[in-house]
Each structure stands twice: as structure tokens, then as C-alpha cells.
A and B are shown apart, each in its own frame.
Chain A
């Protein structure tokens, strides 16, 4: 791929890195502005760490209906769809569970504290109790329940931004929000070359990650979930952010990393997260859905599903996330 001819912009937002690539460099400025606006909007709508976010206001309304923006309604819809499509394995009502586990502020801050857990574990509050009325544009969250749209909102932002930018500049675009990738529009002639990382090799000091495999995608979304990427300690316990809704504990999975390609980044994210929670059952589930996936066991063994490409001949190389030429 003639990577040098791509327009490229990198930044940080939503607590992670952001990469924007456009096939036609002339559209980069407009694309960057659209992406910035989209990320700002999703943050003020869905952040769990902002008291002024719509999510925080809905959770603090004491069980009363709260008017919300179309964007928040869409993000909540994605979260509820994730719960339904995975039979509750991906549950947006795990906010209280994450707080109990110590993930009570943005990740960069939360991982700094290593004291013991002080709150009792809290299973998910139950996604069926959350009511979204899209006609009245109102949301009702039961009193005491905390939502965490987390990854689905980020994936939704990637999908929305990619679609918006492609429509605006009329060319191909790739949006990467912390590893959740969405592409739209006509891709470069040789497709988008993407490294798939196994976070066992992530170097937080150098912010570098070693690609385990490099693949080419042309449409849709690609997401990776891992029990290693966002992990922290509380006392003797090693914790991570993918919660089993039934226990409120970090999921005890046979997989350390799962990458999935799908029609959208939201779908890829839902599937990769659910696969971590489902463990061995995920292989059959992903196969029945025909979702190309790569699942990595804790010992490094790899299982591929539904025509996930075979490893190429090139060896992995250490590089910063999205530092391609």
C-alpha cells in the first residue's frame, strides 16, 4: 500500500489514541475537523467520567425519564443492542461493577492506584430495566444503576465519523479509536493494511505494540478486545475491564485477546467483547455468525474463525500504535 500517499492525522481523545487516515490527502483538514467534532460530541454524551454528560444525568435522575439528544439515544441503542445480541454477555449496566473494581476514573488515573478493593462486587444491574423511548427521545435508568457505554460508544463514534467523513470528502477513510477501526468509502487500491496486536506485548512506557499479524481490510470494522490491554491491580488481585455481568468480576476467559472483523465497528466490538466473556463457546458462536475472528489463548495459541486470513510471511515488528509510514 502506498502508505506515504495517505493523509494522516493522529491525536488523543476519549482516553486513548486516535488515528485518521484518508485516501485522498487533500481532504485531510476537513476530515480532521469532522472527526474532532464527532469525538467531542460522543464524549459529552456518553462519558462515565463527566458529571455533565448525558449519561451521568440519566443515571442521576432517580429513575425518572430524562430527555436526551439523538446522539445519546443512538449510543444507548447500540449498548442495548449489544446486550440483546449477546444474550446479556455484553451488558451496559456494569458501571457499578467497574467502580467496585476500582475503574472509577479515566483509565490512566485509575491504574495508578493499587490499594485493596473497598467496595463489594456488584453484578450488572440488568439491561432490560433500562428504557429508551426513541419517539419521545427519553431515557429512564432505574435508580442506583450506573451505565457504562464504554467500548460500544467508542466503536459507534468510529463508525459515525468514518461514514460522515467519507460522505463529506467523497473518498476512503479509516478511523482508529484506540484500536477500534472503522473504514468507509472507496479504500486505497491495495486496501487498508492493519496490524492486529496481541496486548501481551504492549509496552506502556514506550506506548509501542507488536503486531502479531498484518491483514488488509476494505470495508466494515475491526475491533480487538483483551484482558491485558486495560488491566490494573487492586491489592493482590489482577483485574481487567471486561466484566462478566453475572458476577461483577472480570471475566475469567480462556482467551487473552480476541479480534473480530464485521460489517461495522460496533458489531466487531460487540462480538470481540462477548467472545472474551463466552470463552470456548465463542468459537462456535463466531463461526455460526460467519464473523472472521482471531482468538488468542493465554499460552499464545491462536484459533481463527470464518476465513480469518492465514498469517503472512512477514515477521512482526515493534512499532508505536499506528506509527506506520
Chain B
């Protein structure tokens, strides 16, 4: 490395500029490396955003007025029930609102739950309830009442 500046001032100036350029380049490289390093460390250690159920807008209009679905309901007063009796295995439309109530982190570990991420939706059953057989039917095996508090 040259330390004497007995050459012309222009040459000395040129040498200084080259040194400055190299220094700037090395500094930029170090800065880039540091930035990438910080990003990696942050990505590995920062907590995931909490899936709080309250982040879902409550009481939105869709909760009370969901989009009309196929198979429009029939309302038949005074015991004149549905005119489409009989068991059907048709899959019902699934246009209902769903509330993603918990994440997998909230899944109980003590027993298998119905799904890994428990979501709640007001969806109809896969199979529409059917009328009981008419003749010589045995007693029902279960009874739905409100005595459970529902």
C-alpha cells in the first residue's frame, strides 16, 4: 500500500476515491448481511398473531340475514307439515355462516374432537330427518326434550 503522496495531487485523489469506494461497498455488504440475519431471527422467534374470536365483526348483517340458499324453506302452519316426507340422503347446501371459534392450539388433547380446528356453523344435517315408519313401529330409542336446559 502506498503511503507517500509524492505523486501528483490528481493521482493521490484518485487513490483516495478508490479506497473510499471499497469501504462503502464493504459497509453495504455488512449491512445487508445484518438485515438478513435479523429478519431470520425475528421470523423464528416472533409470536404468531392471536386468533381471537372477537376479531370477527360481531352482529354483522350476515348473521341475521344470510344469503338465501337453495331449497327455500316452507312454513306450514297448524300441523300441515312438509309435503316432502321420506328419507333423503341429499347433501344440503352449505351457505351458512361459519365462526372459526378456535384454532388448533385450542383443541383438547384429552379426547379426539370432531375436527382439528373447531368451527361452528349453523349448517343443516347431511341427511334430512325422515318420518318414522308408520306401521308397527317400535318405541323411539331417544327423545328430544328441553330438559337438558336447551
Contact = CB atoms under 8 A, between A and B. Distances in A.
Given A14-B148, A78-B120, A195 B140 contact: yes
A88 interface: yes
A241 interface: yes
Most chain A CB inside 10 Å of its own CB: which residue of B126, B134, B146: B146
A81 B126 contact: no
Nearest to B48: A135
B149 A154 contact: yes
Nearest to B64: A87
Interface string A242-262: 000000000000000101011
Most chain B CB inside 10 Å of its own CB: which residue of A127, A192, A219, A290: A290
B149 A241 contact: yes
Most chain B CB inside 10 Å of its own CB: which residue of A180, A190, A289, A314: A289
Most chain A CB inside 10 Å of its own CB: which residue of B67, B81, B114, B149: B149
A71 interface: yes
Interface size class, chain A? 35 or more
Nearest to B109: A70
Contacts of A59: none
Most chain A CB inside 10 Å of its own CB: which residue of B48, B128, B132: B132
Interface size class, chain B? 35 or more
Given A290-B93, A312-B134, A229 B146 contact: yes
A213 B71 CA distance: 23
Interface string B30-71: 000000000000000001101111101011000111111111
A131 B139 contact: no
Most chain A CB inside 10 Å of its own CB: which residue of B125, B138, B144: B144
A323 interface: yes
A36 interface: no
Nearest to A178: B148
* Cβ-closest 7 pairs across A and B: A178-B148, A287-B73, A229-B146, A77-B101, A220-B125, A226-B146, A195-B140
